[in-house]
Structure 1
Amino acid sequence: MLEIRKEHKNADYRPMVQLLKAKGFNVNHKKVQRLMKKLGLRVTSFWRKSRKYTSYKGKVGKIAENRLNKRFSTPIPHQKITTDTTEFKHYENGIQKKAYLNPFLDLFNNEIVSFEISKRSHTK
């Protein structure tokens, strides 16, 4: 394994198993993982192929006052209306796009009073 590692500096356990099998060694991938960990053979140039996008930029703007204080029911219709934004992915002409759903929920009877579907996320 050390000889193979000199030739292939960033070989993780998967390619290491294939290279060992090519040299005639019949080894299990779990055994190779354990041995590489024991010998301290770590990959230095690992990077993720795709990272999940996040638009979070830290604390931006004002934090809304907590007016509900965990009281999510009311005896009066249209007294407490809440909203949330949900992101959906869809395909338009073979191209993946995003759509945003903003339902407005009345806490009197937990019905959706209104909703909005848009191509852009609204923060207002």
Structure 2
Amino acid sequence: MFNGEVLSYGISMRPTLYLALNPLEEALKIVKNSKYRTTIHSDQGWHYQHKKWVKTLKKNKVFQSMSRKGNCLDNSPMENFFGLLKQEMYYGESLSSFEVLKKELKNISIIIITST
């Protein structure tokens, strides 16, 4: 998320390191010339603690911020985003397959507004 805009995302049937790394690398290409410090905030999932993830952040001079253990409020903009996403995609409907989910994700636009 950048200024309320999703820069990149990944989707997979199972959590893998590259499910997190590939969108990170795509997002880093977009913000690489920013005049501001880039911060990546995440929960404490295993892939965000993996040495390849941490090395990628350090190599690109990105500050890593993590939620406190068991405190979803630290990551409230993303918790809000996923709540809205689920509400918009699933309300009154059921998706028949993973392929349908991927197609629907490409068609949805959600703008997150956060107060600073």
Q: TM-score, normalised by structure 2?
A: 0.19
Higher helix share: 2
Q: Relative contact order (alpha carbons < 8 A, sep ≥ 6): 1 or 2 greater?
A: 2
Q: TM-score, normalised by structure 1?
A: 0.18
